[in-house]
Amino acid sequence: MNEQIVWLEGTLAQKPRRIGDETILKINVRSSDGVHQVTALAVGDAHRRNLQESRADTGSAIILKGRLPEAEDGCDLIVETLGLTPSHEGENES
């Protein structure tokens, strides 16, 4: 099987929603034909901690690397790596 890797950049459409060890991310992605919403699934404590420490919330900028799910289960991507612009960026600037 040839696994497809996807890089994605956008903003969180809503605050991440945690269910057990999974976190569901709704991401607005802009393309040449408008804005599309993508649902990504982040599994595990490392992603959860990253999202908490980055204060991920609606409107947070996000970039991620993911793969397409093997089965249609309501998500568009399975997250492998993610990064966020912290919501507190610039807080200490004068």
Q: Does 32 map to a domain?
A: yes
| pLDDT at 84 (0 to 100) | 87
CATH code assigned at 14: 2.40.50.140
Per-residue pLDDT of 26-66, as tens digits, reads 999 999 999 999 999 999 999 999 898 888 899 999 999 99
Cα–Cα distance between 10 and 37 in angstroms, integer?
9
User: Residue 1 — very low, low, confident or very high, per pLDDT cuts 50/70/90?
Assistant: low
Number of domains comprising the chain: 1
80, part of any domain: yes
pLDDT at position 54 is: 87
pLDDT digits (tens, 9 = 90+) for 8-32: 999 999 999 999 889 999 999 999 9
Note down the domain range covering 65: 5-84
80 CB contacts (<8 Å, ≥6 apart)?
5, 64, 65, 66, 67
The reply to whether 23 falls in a domain is yes
Handedness of CA 37, 38, 39, 44 (dihedral sign): negative
Whether residue 46 is contained in a domain is answered as: yes
pLDDT surpassing 70 at residue 90: no
Give the chain's radius of gyration (CA, Å).
14
